[in-house]
Amino acid sequence: KQEVTQIPAALSVPEGENLVLNCSFTDSAIYNLQWFRQDPGKGLTSLLLIQSSQREQTSGRLNASLDKSSGRSTLYIAASQPGDSATYLCALYNNDMRFGAGTRLTVKP
């Protein structure tokens, strides 16, 4: 059974810093990996989707990488802003979707 771990559980950084969120998984037999953002009390916003055959995806200040051989994915956020404050979830899909526990990010002005 797929196990997804996200480190750190919480992160607080000053505005403008570049940061990396980590996601590790135990089963590399996946179709894709998605990074989501969740604001308190809200649903999920999909940030980036990496197909199994891909190594990375970029969208604006976000860059996500996927290394299936090591069971790792990272989400890189450049020039962080207070509006980036949220919980970030990674999830892997292989017939069903398994989520990590999330990283709660706070960007201080």
Partner 1 sequence: GAVVSQHPSWVICKSGTSVKIECRSLDFQATTMFWYRQFPKQSLMLMATSNEGSKATYEQGVEKDKFLINHASLTLSTLTVTSAHPEDSSFYICSAGPLLTGSYEQYFGPGTRLTVT
Residues contributing to the site for partner 1 (CB under 8 A): 31-32, 34, 36, 41-44, 46, 49, 51, 89, 91, 93, 95-102
Closest distance to partner 1 from the beta carbon of 68 (Å): 15
- When the beta carbons of 92 and 107 are compared against partner 1, the nearer one is 92
Q: What angle do CA 101, 22, 51 make, to 5 degrees?
A: 90
Closest distance to partner 1 from the beta carbon of 16 (Å): 28
- When the beta carbons of 95 and 109 are compared against partner 1, the nearer one is 95
Encoding tokens for residue 29?
């037999």
Encoding tokens for residue 27?
């089963």
Closest distance to partner 1 from the beta carbon of 45 (Å): 9
Residue 89, Cβ neighbours under 10 Å: how many? 22
Q: How far is CA 53 from the centre of its chain?
A: 18
